[in-house]
Structure 1
Amino acid sequence: MSPGTGSASVSGVDAGGRGNSMRIADLRAVRDTDLTADVCVIGSGPAGLTIATELAGSALRVLVLESGGLELTPESDELDDVENVGAARAQPYRNARNRILGGSSHTWSGRCAPLDELDFATRSWVPFSGWPIGFAEVEPYWERAAEYLGLGYGAGFTGDRFWELADRTPPRPELDRRWLRPYFWQISKDPADPFDSKRFGAHAADISADNVRILLHATVSHIDTDPEGVRVEALRILDADGNERVVRARRIVLAAGGIENARLLLASNRIVRAGVGNRHDTVGRFLLDHRCGVVGALDPHTSAGLRDRFGKYVVKTRGGKHTFLHGLALSPEIQADEGLLNCALWIQEVPSEDDPWESVKNLLRGHVTMHDARTVASHPGLLLSGAKRRLIDHTGLPRKLEHVELRCMVEQTPDPASRITLSDRLDHLGMHRARIDWKVSDQEDRTVRRAAAMVAGEFARLGHTPPALDAWVRETSTAPAQLTDWAHPTGATRMSADARTGVVDADCRVHGMTNLYLAGSSVFPTNGHANPTLTIVALAIRLADALRR
């Protein structure tokens, strides 16, 4: 399969597991007691399927193990339940961690951006910051990742260069760069559905290579190593009925997600008591997420000019038309001067229940209902305005709005006490659940309050009515911050040049082991403010290049 191409559904799969162009099977239908491969990938989310696609057609026999199936089921969802003993988390784990072919791409929102250059740097005011690889090393892989994610560009679009790419004149007056910088996110587009973000599972069957095999309902229960814990010898896997098989592979890539990667390493403790790769008690530590929330409100009737400038833009790129969202981020200088974290803010339009554009999408998809037909017919003026904005102005659609919010996303301070351990509670396959002790910090709260105040002041300087900031956001407030997680678990098997402060090295190989690699957001040492999927896929491509060599 060429990344970013294919049908809208997983097709050509039969009970024996042979599809039109590759093999996908339910583990229960496989007769082999022992399964072998050159590379075994645990997890079929964006990281796992990217690696499989990159290795398709090579001389390597690739086996992908997916704990779920083609559909979400209560039994698979239950395996994602956790014991939470830390900060409250608003995103239900069953909504954010999908045991299904395609993994978390089944429910992600599609918003993409690369990390900033400063995110890779060691910052004196951010403890445990710094990556063992740099921005320049990752940048080419972001470009390659764009095709997998249905993006026009993989890098170079988040700042001032956006206006050149969009063939637009930058708006005036300019932002005061001492405090804030323009920032752009790009929205993923599935080639099979222009109204949806890329769903990896729907394209898995189009990997056109016989050397790749995917097994569904195949849950890894234990990673067996040699007695010294230096080499993986086998994987114990359970099918949906609890029957055990054995997988043997020359190299193993654990790509099971930001929480599951750490959980499985810790749970593999029959041979090495502390768990695989955990000689220095680092597995599960430094758990990060993005803290997000509403920080203010704008009047839908008086904020049209502001929303036009800091709204959505439609840009013709090499891969068709793509949507970008314009926001603001803290300047690197103000972060260094005031000891702040990386943080971005944007205007979020919240449509009313009778906004016609969702109904238009349903009609264009062929999903005709009387409700949608009536909704569309009731808003001719809005639809005509939308056609002009999209086709002539190349901006976002005008919505019928319930309200307008100012939202933020802030990186977290790395903290070794923020961690994943094993709960005493077991799931129905007999595995220990993950115990989550997620920590938040005052540095994050202070950053958000300061950033919101700067954005409000900047909007006023630009000649617009500033947002009414929520009471807790005011810099003098002592009220608790109204921020939640954003279902972006990160950092619990972090990358580090030093095995005492990380789990994997710069090549994503587990420290002290010869054939175990990790993929996904769990290897990020810091998480910046950008959504992680673009960097997840970029690092997966980088790892696939190394495995192929």
Structure 2
Amino acid sequence: MAANYKKFFAGSRNIPKGISLGYPVPGPQEASADQIAGQAFFATPNDWSSIQASAYDFIVIGTGPTGVAFIEQTLKHNPNARILVLERGGFWLPTHYQMLPLAFQAATGSPPTTYPWTRTARMATTELEFFQAGYIPVLGGRSTYWSAWCPAPTPDLMRDWPQELIDVTLQPGFWDRARAFLHVTPMDRVHDGVYGSLQHQIDVNLRENFKRYVPSAESAFPAPIAVGNTPWKGVKFYKYSTVGTLLDLQQSQKALAAQGNGQPLTIVDHCVVDRLVHDGHGTVTALETSRGPLAVSSAKVVLAMGTIPPATLLMNSFKEALPNIGKRYTGHFMSHITARVKRSAFKDLSALEIGATYLDGKAPNGLQYHVQTSAFASANPEADESTIAHEAPDAAAVASMAQLKGSEDYVVFVCATLGEVSEKNPDNWIRLNGGTDPATNITLQLQPGVEDHHLWDVLDEATYQAIDVMAGRAGCSDPGVEYWVDDESGNGGRWQQERPDRKKIRLNIIVHEASPLWMGRDPATSVVGLDYRPHGVHNVYVTGGALFPTSGSWNPTLTMCGLAQDLADRLRG
């Protein structure tokens, strides 16, 4: 007890020799976030030479969901696995920003979001002036800001995926293990005083009526979101981020190593990997990094960098050997519709209630969409602002204060509807552009094609139909629904009975990018083999949405993490 107390107040173990606890001089008088986190969790600059001289079983590049899923599963198999983690950024947030004070909402946008590519003029200037959602180059990556919706696709939704890959997802426990890692909880099981009666009534309305009134829909259920199962007793809604999991693993491995029962988990921050150096025969021998070269030796290199960065790295490293990289570039386009109905459409609502549902379907051409809906009923929006910000299902699709004020006697539905971009459009691609920075020397182009636009019409109509169903007003001559339309300034808006013009609801962002390193049996028609290795490359493995042969419409993170865990199983030997 006394030792712990003294350690707590003693501060840094890295105080220069001869300066201790204020004697004989005051000592350093500043501390940055990098210094504090670095002392506790990360290798120091002085450690790099010893890291270069060490041998590892795995070198994992990236600390987002797939990287941490792989690391956790590997250490479950073997706590003596020697793992080196390279993260391009530093420490920023300890958890998902929704779980922090309300003021942290001001810390979204750019920065921290970065865009490590160049868009073509065609992508940037035609139609809706599309742009690709960016990356967050910090510990935990986008898991510190993500929406956290985690549906599990059924085999029929994994269109044109190799059967061997679909069979992986059908293995007993595949989805349960991925859900456990991400703390996925259906919103009808939260029961925290905010999710309750409204959630139940929306669920019933959808379950009993969606097949009749949303003809393109195929299923509907309470939204599965990565929010639950924290170690804290009584905490039922806590948006998940990989930061805590990774740092807990680092500390537990440190303790095991001290007991002789495991190996330390070494994390190097502020380390950009620019190129994979290979012998010309498919074996990577070294990494070129911003901290200097790093020999690979017998380690297996795991790319857990998102979707576009690993494609960039492989293009810069294996341009001739992997000619198919970037020939597929898919993702999701979006519509955003906000509506409201009178509270009287529901029974016995509390002063504040939130609900969240998920509905998916297909267009006649077979392309997929889904509607993710957040519902808000607040009798006192200003008093409820902090609670709504912390417990909103999707921080990027939450009712604004302008929409909630004046809607005290209403339930407000915020619907984000996502449709898949077809993989069969040759005008969508990612290519090297000759730039000098290997982390950003690519150009990308993506625009919805004819088939995608057909799907977009279907998903918009399905969203309007789903709102009527959730409100219990489907089939009524006057459903009593009003729609929000933003002012041209974007600082306000108004409610109206007419549906908004499609230009008002269709967004110009591409999210959940996928497919530049799609998996397949044949090297002539794919990039990565069914063992997660790029064709012809012996000691590099890929995780994430880059592997998806087609994107579907479903949120990809649960599937990505399940496949990363499967990779850890395969490499456990």
- TM-score normalised by length of structure 2: 0.68
Q: Quote how far apart the aligned CAs of 1:405 are.
A: 4.5
The superposition leaves residues 57-101 of structure 1 with CA deviations (integer Å, 9 ceiling, x where unpaired) of 4342111111111128999969743211153488977x7412111
Name the SS for the 2:227 alignment partner. coil
Deviation at 1:540, TM superposition (A): 0.8
1:60 has 2:81 as partner: yes
Equivalent residue runs for 1:418-429 within 5 Å: 418-427=428-437
Rounded Cα–Cα distance in structure 1 between residues aligned with 2:347 and 2:431: 44
TM-fit CA distance, 1:167 = 12
What amino acid does structure 1 have at the position aligned with 2:243?
G
Letter in 1 for 2:42: I
Shift of 1:491: 0.9
- 1:179 Cα deviation (Å)? 3.2
Aligned to 2:535: 511
Partner residue of 1:126?
A: none
* Deviation of the 1:36 alpha carbon: 2.7
1:182–1:327 Cα contact (<8 Å) kept: yes
Aligned with 2:310 (options 254, 261, 280):
261
Secondary structure of the residue that 2:314 maps to in structure 1? helix
Distance 1:167 1:547, change over 3 A: farther
Q: Within 1, Cα distance between the matches of 2:12 and 2:457?
A: 52
Opposite residue 87 of structure 1, the aligned amino acid is: M
5 Å-filtered alignment, 1:300-379, equals: 300-302=340-342, 305=345, 325-330=356-361, 335=363, 338-349=364-375, 354-360=381-387
Structure 1 residues 289 and 25: CA distance shift in structure 2, 3 A: same
Aligned to 1:282: 324
Determine the C-alpha separation between the residues in 1 that align with 2:390 and 2:558: 31
Distance 1:289 1:204, change over 3 A: same
Q: 1:521 aligns to what? A: 545
Matched residue, 2:43? 25
Q: Describe the superposition over 1:486-537 as per-residue Cα deviations: whole angstroms up to 9, x where unpaired.
A: 4312111111122122111222121122221100111111111111111111
Matches within 5 A, 1:194-273: 195-207=237-249, 208-209=252-253, 210=257, 211=263, 212-228=265-281, 230-239=282-291, 243-268=292-317, 272-273=318-319
| Alignment of 1:87 onto 2:100 | no
Q: Which residue does the alignment assign to 2:56? A: 37
Deviation digits for residues 378-401 of structure 1 (CA, Å, limit 9, x no counterpart): x9xx9xxxxxxxxxxxxxxx9787
Structure 1 contact 287–490 (Cα < 8 Å) conserved: yes
Percent identity of equivalent pairs: 21
1:28-79 alpha-carbon deviations (Å, 9 max, x no partner) = 6433244431111111111111111111243421111111111289999697
Structure 1 contact 37–61 (Cα < 8 Å) conserved: yes
Deviates most, 404-413 or 19-28:
19-28
Matches within 5 A, 1:449-460: 449-454=457-462, 456=464, 459=468
Q: What's the CA shift string for 1:294-344, capped at 9, x where partnerless?
A: 2x553x3437638999xx999xxxxxxxxx72243226xxx4xx2141111
Q: Which amino acid aligns with 2:342?
A: T
- Determine the C-alpha separation between the residues in 2 that align with 1:167 and 1:457: 17
**Distance apart, 1:201 and its partner CA:** 1.4
- Partners of 1:53 and 1:402 lie apart in 2 by 41
Q: Secondary structure at the match of 2:509?
A: coil
Following superposition, the deviation at residue 420 of structure 1 comes to 1.6
- Aligned residue in 2 for 1:499: 523
Deviation at 1:227, TM superposition (A): 1.6
**1:149 matched residue in structure 2:** 182
Instruction: Name the structure 1 match of 2:420.
Output: 411
Does the C-alpha gap of structure 1 residues 23 and 450 become closer, same or farther in structure 2, counting only changes over 3 Å?
closer
CA distance in 2, matches of 1:341, 1:407: 17
1:134 alignment partner in structure 2: 166
CA contact (8 A) 1:220 1:236 kept: yes
**Which one-letter code corresponds to 2:83 in the other structure?**
V
1:112 matched to 2:150? The reply is yes
What is the 5 A alignment of 1:426-437? 426-427=436-437, 431-437=439-445
Contact 1:420 1:435 in 2 (8 A): yes
Counterpart residue identity of residue 183, structure 2: G
**CA contact under 8 A between 1:143 and 1:153: conserved in structure 2?**
no
- TM-score between both structures, scaled by the size of structure 1: 0.70
* RMSD of equivalent CA atoms: 4.5
Equivalent AA in structure 1 for residue 148 of structure 2: G
SS in 1 for 2:441: strand
Where does residue 182 of structure 1 map in the other structure? 220
Tell me by how many angstroms 1:543 deviates.
0.7
Supply the distance in 1 between the matched residues of 2:293 and 2:566 (Cα, whole angstroms): 32
Structure 1 window deviating more from structure 2 (168-177 vs 498-507): it is 168-177
CA contact (8 A) 1:293 1:484 kept: no
Do 2:135 and 2:142's aligned partners in 1 also have CA atoms closer than 8 Å?
Answer: yes
> Partner of 2:555: helix, strand, or coil?
coil
SS at match of 1:450: helix
- How many residue pairs align between the two structures? 458
2:566 aligns to what SS in structure 1? helix
Pair 1:533 & 2:557 matched: yes
Question: What's the CA shift string for 1:252-279, capped at 9, x where partnerless?
Answer: 11111111010000112xxx552xx51x
User: SS where residue 342 of structure 2 aligns?
Assistant: coil
- Residues 27 and 216 of structure 1 are in contact (CA less than 8 Å); yes or no, is this contact kept in structure 2? no
| Bigger Rg, which one | 2
Partner SS, residue 526 of structure 1: coil
Where structure 1 has 5 or more consecutive residues not aligned to the other structure, the ranges are 1-11, 123-128, 155-165, 315-323, 365-374, 383-397, 473-478
Alpha-carbon separation, structure 1, partners of 2:568 and 2:12: 26
Q: Return the offset for 1:410.
A: 0.6
Query: What is aligned with 2:99?
Result: none
**Residue in 2 aligned with 1:469?**
499
